[in-house]
Structure formats: C-alpha cells, structure tokens
Amino acid sequence: MAHHPAADHSLDFALLQTTVARPSGRNRVTLLWLLGLLALLVGSVVALLLYLNNFEEEEAARRRAADAQWLEQSVQFHFRRLEDDLLVLARQAVLQASNAQPQADTSAPQVQGGLLWREPGVVLSSGWMPAGQLGQLQLGPERWQRDREAHPDNADALTLMQTTTQGLRRSAYAGLMLRPDGTATDVIWLAVPFFDGGDFVGNYLAAVSLQQALAALVPTWFSQSHSVRLENQPAPGDMLTRGPELADLQVDRVALNLPGVDLFLQVALTQAQPATVPRIFFLVAVLFLLGMLVALYVLRRDFVKRQRVQTLLQAQVALRTAMENSVTIGLRAWDLQGRILYVNDAFTRLVGFSADELMGLKMPFPYWPPDQHELLVQVHEGIIAHGTSGNGVEVQFAHRDGHLIDVLIHEAPLNTASGQQIGWMSSVMDISERKRAQRMAAQQQEKLEASGRLIAVGEVASTLAHELNQPLGALSSFANGLLNRLGDNTITLPELLPVVQRMARLADRAGGIIRRVNDFARRRELSRHQLDLVTFLTRVLAVRGDDDGPSAQWSAPAQPVWVDADELLLEHLVNNLVANAQDWAAIGSAQPQVWIDLRQDSAQGVAALSVADTGPGVSEEARESIFNAFVSRKEGGMGMGLAICRSIVEAHHGQLEVGRDPVLGGARFTVVLPLAQVAAVLPEGAP
C-alpha cells in the first residue's frame, strides 16, 4: 500500500479557494439586514404566543371530548357485559328450574360476572321470569312487583320492555322508575331474553341503580378532574363527583345508548391540565430567538474578521455542501485518483482505523476484505467513471478486528467553487442490522407459510372426514346386519362369518380414522407431551394388522426413543406414511414389502423414523412438488396426504425428507424429530 509524502497529508483544499472582491457598502447593508431580522424575530415571538394560546384552548376542548367519548364507551361496554352475565344466568335458570318456576330474588346465581354484577349496590334485584307468565305480578323479583305497582307509567314501561325483548329478540331497558308521587328514581330495569331453538323461553330481569353503576364505572383518576352526573338530576348534590357548578363549565353531553331509555350524562372538565409541552416549546423558542439576537450581535461585531477569512469560508462551504448531498453517516472524500482526502469520526468508528492512518492512502484500502480486493477495485473504478445510482452501491467492508460489515455507499461529486470536479464525497451507511432483519423476516415468512399450510390442511381434512363418515357408517351397519343373519342361521356360517367380522373391524377402524382426522383438523394448537416412539409405533402398527397389502415390518430398538410430540398428530403422520408405502409397494415389480426403521442420534439430538417400500420410488422431478397440497401421483388421489405429513413435521420443528431406499429400491420417507430430555420421562420405579 503506497503512502504519499507528509506534505500531501496536510491538504487545505486549495483548489476550492477563489478570490473574492470586497463589496462596497457592506456595513450599511448588513445593518439593514440586522434590523429586519430583529423585527422578524419580534413578530415571530408574538405570533408564536398567539398560536400557543389558541393551541391550549383547542387541546383542552379535544381532551374534554376524548374523555367524554371514553366515558361513553366504558359505560356501554360494562352494560353490555351485564347483559352477557344475565344471559348466562338465564341459561342456568332454564337448565336448573325443571318445574319452570321463576328464580327467587334471593337466589345465588353461579356466574363470574363483570364489574356491574360484582359491585355492591348496583344490581338491586334480579330474577328469572318464564315466557307466558310475564304479566303475573307474583312472579319475578320482589322489586319488580313493587315498581310495577308504584306508578302506572312504570307498568307501561316494564310491559313495553318485555314486549321488545320477545319481538326484537334483544335486550331492552325500562326506566327511570317513578315513585308513587311521580318523582323519578335512579333505578332502571334490564330484561335479557333467552331463546331455545328459536322459541322464546323467558326473560332474566335485573333492577340497576344508575347512580351506583356510574359511581362504580367512573375511576378515581377521572373523577378528580371531571364532574359527571345524570342529565335529569339538576341538584348539585346529585353529582357523582365533586366540583364547581356545571353552569360555570363547558359541558359535554354523553348518551348512555341503552335500548328503551333516553338517558344522558353531563361531563365537565373541572381541572384543566396545563399544556406543558407547548409552554416548554415557547420557552425554548424564546431562548432560541434570544440566542439568535446574540448571534446577530456577534456577527455584526465580527463582520470585519469574516471578510479576512472569506476565501477559506468559501472552501469550507463548498465542502459542506457536497457533504449535505450525501447521507451524513460515515463521510469519506477522495480525489479522482482514488486518494482519501477526508474522513469523519463516524467513518473511522465504522472501519476501526483512525483518520491519520487513512488520510492520503490509495486503493486498495486497509478496510477492504482481502478476498474482495478485485471486486472493490472494479466498483471504485465504476464510481470514478459514472458515479452511483440513486440506490447506491452495496459492498462489504472489513473492520480492523476482522468482522465484515455490510455498507451502502452513495457518492456525490466534490466540486470547486467554480464547478470543477476534483473528486467524490461518499456517505457510507452501516446496513448490517437491516440485512440481518431481512434474513429474519424471510425466516418468519417461511414459518408463517408453514402455519398457513397446516391450517389449510386441517380444513380440508375436516371436510374429508365429514364426507366419508356417512358411507363408512353404512358399511358398519351392513356388516352388523350380516352378523345378525349369520346368528339366525340364514346364511352358511363357515363361509361368511370371517368376512363379515373383518368388514366390521374395518368399519370400526374407518370410524376411528374419521374421528382422528376430525380432531386433527379442528385442533389449532399442539398438545405436546413426551412420547416413547418405540411403544407408540408398536401400538400403531398393531392396529394396522388387518390392512390390505404387505404388512409393515420393523425391528423395535432395545432402548426407548423419547420425543416431545402431539400423539394424535404423530399417529396421523405414521398412518399416512405407512398407507402410502403399502399402496406403492404393490405397484413395484418386486415382492411387495414395507420396512420401518427407527434410530436416534444422541450427538445430534434427533430421532429418525424411516418408512421404505419396494415401489417405483420418487423421481427427481417429482421431489420438488411431492409435498405440495393437491398434488398426487396416485390415480384418484387428492394430494393431501403428504402435504398433511409435512405440516405435522414442521409443526414439531422437524424435517421430512424423501429419497430412494438402497435395499428395497423404492421410496424412503424419513421423519427427523428433536429428542426430548430422557431424564424427564423415566417411568415410575425406574432407577
């Protein structure tokens, strides 16, 4: 690497310097500019003050409206939760009251309940009223009868509420309840209908104290700065929270939106929170403007000095302008011969070399990876000839400690004040984290695609199980009918009894397969537990003993092989692979055989389950699409079996591979699953 003489290292950008003539009248023009800027600053302060005052008023109005909207949504949410709680109680009442009598007001319903149900004093009375008995005063909660008799308007409102629930099939409210003297209380009634098979069964009724409900719903932090009360309560003593009179405040009107009653809340902001951020901004702006005034004064005082260094400032302005045209992260200036003229601190931190070590060096630079010198020389030669495009150039730099860094380089011409190009200004951005994020995003996308395949396979498997359940059930019924005839001696028993028994076993097994596929399709989460593959395979293969085609042969390992797996999904996987092997083994030219091999690699921490057959095998072209959904090489196949197998294996963080078996000559499917911790699954009594 060639170094230039020491004289070349103290570059002062002489090519950027130009001679500037001293203009006449500079002091007078500068003074006028200063006076104009002073007037502009004063006007800016006044305009900013007016703007911030208006901003505080708008912010207070926005906050008041937002708080009212929050309260409205909170009240509606909790009343909807109360309706859900009463619906649960209605269902319990229907199930428990076998004699269809309404539930007593003093009963203790079994429901977890939301805030309104749990808060003492909110629900004053509740109970079940069956259909057909809605007009009988002796039924329903005790308060129900008292409120109906208190005032004629109460009876009309409650009757309308019951008619609404039955006719519109939704919850309804009635109130406010009136006292005998006609004054209003804070009590409303809620009726939640219950329908069984489309038929109206009855209503579950509850009397709710609005005053207590709103007191429970308004949190302490809200009541400290707001005044809330029902609109029909003009007395200041009825306010839910303490504060000044609402007439002195700006009030928002909030509708409760309870079907059957028109009730509103009045919400007023009693303690306006000062807009701290705008005031801090104003203070900072004032300080900034004062600083500008001081700067203008200093500029005026030092005007003469600035004229003496005009030439040097022009060179610096040209350099800074070139820097602004690039991304200001890592900065590097170099001439047309490839010699480094300038680097900033960010660039030196990026590559690990100091500015003194880099100044004056030519290509190849010390931060180039040794195996990429030729490529980087070509890149820099292209930059010298044509510059960089808008997207920049992505290359790799080597840090001084040896690790590689992905960088994005943008180049801008470095020109003199007269427009002559003398080199390039580079902005170098470290994109290593972005590259890593892209790789992680690609991995996450692959996982999402695998999950999507598992969900799609589950839906198709559920549909297949539903469609196959009826014919298989008919097969089982037919087999049982034949067995009955054999029992009556209407058919020769020695000839048909074994066949019918086998048909019955096959039908029962088919029903089990349907249930397993349905469970697999409906399951959204894995139910993992530690499973011994040796015992598991022994049980699964024993059940498949009556299959047509060659029996699956295998030699069980002496030691158990433990994995963390969902037993239901793993059974579906093994059945699919073995059935697929039996089908293809019958097609091959050799005697049909199916072998199963189970091994574990403790060093790698995996278990390998292989299923091989004597069939024609899988060609190289077919291996790329054999696990895709709806791709089948069998006549009449749907192409879902191997797709389901792959989804199950991926859900267990394993791999499913296909190749040619070296012994049988047919296809060999290998399932690789992570091993479980052996110590956690030792049977009871084991040493």
pLDDT at site 674: 92
Contact by Cβ (8 Å): 455, 448: no
Q: Which residue has the tokens 């208006």?
A: 54
> Pseudo-torsion of CA 165, 168, 173, 177, nearest 10°?
-70
Q: Do 483 and 559 have their domain in common?
A: no
Residues with Cβ within 8 Å of residue 341, at least 6 apart in sequence: 11, 13, 333, 334, 335, 359, 414, 423
How sure is the predictor about 303, in pLDDT bands with cuts at 50, 70 and 90? low
For residue 285 the two structure tokens come to: 């702006």
Q: What is the count of structural domains for the chain?
A: 5
pLDDT at site 672: 94
- C-alpha to C-alpha distance for 680 and 277, rounded to whole angstroms: 58
279 vs 550: which has the higher pLDDT: 550
pLDDT at site 466: 44
Contact by Cβ (8 Å): 647, 447: no
Q: Do 61 and 81 have their domain in common?
A: yes
Q: Which of 265, 229, 218, 226 is nearest to 249 (CA)?
A: 226
Contact by Cβ (8 Å): 585, 553: no
Query: Is residue 317, in this structure, part of any structural domain at all?
Result: no
Contact by Cβ (8 Å): 525, 491: no
Answer whether residue 381 shows pLDDT above 50.
Answer: yes
226-249 tens-digit pLDDT: 777 777 644 333 444 434 444 456
Lowest mean pLDDT among 200-204, 310-314, 532-536, 545-549: 545-549
Q: Do 280 and 366 have their domain in common?
A: no
Query: Is residue 12, in this structure, part of any structural domain at all?
Result: no
As a whole number, mean pLDDT of residues 131-158 equals 76
Q: Percent of the chain, pLDDT > 90?
A: 6
Query: Is residue 314, in this structure, part of any structural domain at all?
Result: no
User: How remote is the C-alpha of 298 from its chain's centroid?
Assistant: 56
- C-alpha to C-alpha distance for 33 and 25, rounded to whole angstroms: 12
Residue 663 is part of a domain; what is its CATH number? 3.30.565.10
pLDDT at site 610: 93
pLDDT at site 606: 92
Q: Which of 85-89, 503-507, 525-529 has the highest mean pLDDT?
A: 85-89
207 vs 266: which has the higher pLDDT: 207
Q: Do 147 and 159 have their domain in common?
A: yes
CA distances, 346 to each of 343, 429, 430, 587, 665 (Å):
8, 10, 10, 69, 62
Residue 392 is part of a domain; what is its CATH number? 3.30.450.20
Mean pLDDT across the chain: 75
Judging by beta carbons within 10 Å of its beta carbon (0-12, 13-18, 19+), is residue 539 exposed, middle or buried? exposed
Residue 302 is part of which domain span?
A: 276-306
Give 129's strand partners: 203
Helix, strand or coil, per DSSP, at residue 634: coil
φ and ψ of 635, to 5 deg: -70, 125
426-465 tens-digit pLDDT: 888 888 888 888 888 888 877 776 666 565 555 555 545 5
Neighbours of 489 (CB within 10 A): 8
Contact by Cβ (8 Å): 186, 230: yes
Query: Is residue 247, in this structure, part of any structural domain at all?
Result: yes
Q: Do 360 and 327 have their domain in common?
A: yes
Q: Do 190 and 45 have their domain in common?
A: yes
For residue 357 the two structure tokens come to: 């070590």
Q: Single out the residue in 522, 546, 565 at which a domain terminates.
A: 522
As a whole number, mean pLDDT of residues 162-183 equals 88
Which residue type, as a one-letter code, is found at position 41? L
Answer whether residue 683 shows pLDDT above 80.
Answer: no
CA distances, 500 to each of 470, 482, 485, 489, 633 (Å):
19, 7, 11, 14, 33
Q: Do 142 and 60 have their domain in common?
A: yes
φ and ψ of 262, to 5 deg: -110, 90
Q: Single out the residue in 380, 405, 430 at which a domain terminates.
A: 430
Helix (H) or strand (E) holding 540: helix 533-543
pLDDT at site 75: 86
Query: Is residue 11, in this structure, part of any structural domain at all?
Result: no
Query: Is residue 17, in this structure, part of any structural domain at all?
Result: no
Answer whether residue 673 shows pLDDT above 90.
Answer: yes
Lowest mean pLDDT among 195-204, 603-612, 675-684: 675-684
Buried b (16+ CB within 10 A) or exposed e, 554-572: beeeeebbbbbbbebbbbb
CA distances, 227 to each of 56, 223, 329 (Å):
21, 7, 53
Query: Is residue 316, in this structure, part of any structural domain at all?
Result: no
Q: Single out the residue in 522, 540, 567 at which a domain terminates.
A: 522
How sure is the predictor about 475, in pLDDT bands with cuts at 50, 70 and 90? low
| 40-45 CB contacts, 8 Å cutoff, 24+ apart | 41/289, 41/292, 41/293, 44/289, 45/285, 45/286, 45/289
Q: Do 586 and 667 have their domain in common?
A: yes
Q: Do 225 and 294 have their domain in common?
A: no
56 vs 24: which has the higher pLDDT: 56
Q: Do 109 and 121 have their domain in common?
A: yes
How sure is the predictor about 297, in pLDDT bands with cuts at 50, 70 and 90? confident
How sure is the predictor about 265, in pLDDT bands with cuts at 50, 70 and 90? confident
Q: Which of 538, 642, 634 is nearest to 586 (CA)?
A: 634
Answer whether residue 171 shows pLDDT above 80.
Answer: yes
195-225 tens-digit pLDDT: 888 888 888 899 998 888 888 888 877 777 7
Provide the 8-state DSSP code for 604. Answer: T
Q: Do 291 and 377 have their domain in common?
A: no
Q: Cis omega before residue 364 (within 30°)? A: yes
Q: Which of 429, 428, 407, 422 is nearest to 319 (CA)?
A: 422
Q: Do 128 and 240 have their domain in common?
A: yes
DSSP 460-490: HHHHHHHHHHHHHHHHHHHHHHHHHHHHTTS
Residue 490 is part of a domain; what is its CATH number? 1.10.287.130
Query: Is residue 214, in this structure, part of any structural domain at all?
Result: yes
